[in-house]
């Protein structure tokens, strides 16, 4: 057990060196650079309650102990490690893997549409097409699962763990219940399997992704554009024209707002087009005073105050959501007289 703990802690530290992780050091650095530029150009834009230029010290604003040491933030740090341990001890099972899904999907395409000659294209075109397919499929299914996590009551009880954060830091991205992590892991395997299977059917077995430091090039570019500010107290809007296509950090902070008018808005990860299609898109410019935004499930929420509640309460509440329709049905059935 001690060896597993040590290994888990070591592997967790490697997240800062992995370009596929949101807290990769270069993404953190780029977010810091964007914040400094924002402070220089628009010092009034913040969630701190006062203009950034009025802060006594820049470091006090960026690394505000009331945020980074808030009980909610401390929960984020512990959840990050605990979830890694649960995975290491195989308590979170792996239900599906990418390879068999890819093979099965490609075979199904051949069965229904027949064998066909692969598309004759240059290796660069194939790489670009494969990279775009992976990115689009991943972004849409991520949006769709996120949408369902909000709309399906039994699933919402698990996703509430993420939204129960009362302050946002880059580590809040890892604040998720193991059941939600399992769903996202299964989604990733299914999405990648379908994308690879489709690309294999279209282009043949020689597939390669355009990557930057091992990450999908489009994902890398999205993350380098301040993705860590999505979970932070830095209000960064990209302007209406860009926010019709891409979700800005400010738009995601709206998604975390505990104001009723902001509930179920801006589900998207990178692309905003899915929110436009589903009618849940909100521009950052609609918020007149960002400093008045506060985070959490609701202003009166008192749930998820401890790690025990964070990990166990969702099972109870989700179960109640599942049996509620049954109890209503039973109540409607009158006993024979």
Domain ranges of the chain: 2-332
Q: Give residue-wise pLDDT tens across range 140-154.
A: 999 999 999 999 999
For position 268, what pLDDT does the model report? 97
Q: Give residue-wise pLDDT tens across range 3-41.
A: 777 887 888 889 999 999 999 999 999 999 998 888 877
pLDDT band at 337 (very low <50, low <70, confident <90, very high): very low
Residue whose C-alpha is closest to residue 136's, from 212, 194, 201: 194
Average pLDDT over residues 234-247: 94
By the 10 Å C-beta count (0-12 exposed, 13-18 middle, 19+ buried), 97 is classed as middle
Can you read off the two tokens belonging to residue 236?
Answer: 């960064």
pLDDT band at 326 (very low <50, low <70, confident <90, very high): confident
pLDDT band at 113 (very low <50, low <70, confident <90, very high): confident
For position 306, what pLDDT does the model report? 92
- The bridge status of strand 211-212 relative to strand 215-216 is antiparallel
For position 328, what pLDDT does the model report? 73
């Amino acid at each position: 057990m001690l060896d597993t703990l040590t290994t888990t802690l070591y592997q967790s530290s490697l997240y800062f060196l992995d370009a596929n992780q949101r807290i990769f050091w270069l993404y953190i650095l780029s977010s810091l650079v964007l914040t400094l530029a924002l402070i220089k150009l628009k010092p009034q834009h913040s969630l701190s309650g006062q203009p950034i230029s009025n802060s006594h010290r820049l470091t006090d604003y960026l690394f505000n102990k009331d945020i980074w040491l808030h009980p909610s933030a401390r929960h984020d740090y512990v959840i990050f490690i605990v979830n890694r341990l649960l995975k290491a001890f195989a308590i979170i099972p792996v239900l599906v893997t990418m390879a068999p899904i890819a093979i099965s999907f490609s075979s199904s395409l051949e069965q229904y549409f027949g064998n066909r000659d692969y598309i004759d294209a240059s290796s660069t075109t194939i790489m670009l097409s494969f990279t775009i397919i992976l990115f689009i499929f991943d972004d849409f299914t991520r949006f769709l699962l996120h949408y369902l996590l909000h709309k399906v009551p039994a699933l919402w009880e698990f996703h509430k763990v993420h939204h129960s954060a009362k302050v946002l830091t880059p580590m809040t991205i890892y604040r998720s219940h193991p059941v939600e992590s399992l769903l996202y892991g299964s989604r990733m395997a299914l999405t990648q399997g379908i994308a690879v299977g489709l690309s294999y059917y279209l282009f043949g077995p020689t597939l390669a992704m355009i990557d930057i430091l091992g990450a999908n090039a489009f994902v890398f570019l999205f993350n380098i554009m301040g993705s860590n500010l999505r979970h932070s107290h830095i209000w960064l809007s990209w302007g209406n024209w860009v926010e019709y296509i891409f979700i800005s950090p400010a738009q995601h902070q709206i998604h975390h707002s505990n104001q009723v008018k902001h509930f179920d808005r801006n589900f998207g990860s990178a692309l905003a087009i899915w929110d436009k299609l589903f009618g849940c898109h909100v521009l950052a410019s609609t918020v007149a005073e960002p400093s008045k935004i506060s985070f959490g499930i609701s202003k009166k929420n008192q749930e998820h105050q401890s790690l025990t509640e964070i990990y166990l309460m969702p099972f109870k509440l989700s179960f109640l959501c599942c049996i509620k329709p049954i109890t209503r049905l039973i109540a409607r059935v009158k006993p024979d007289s």
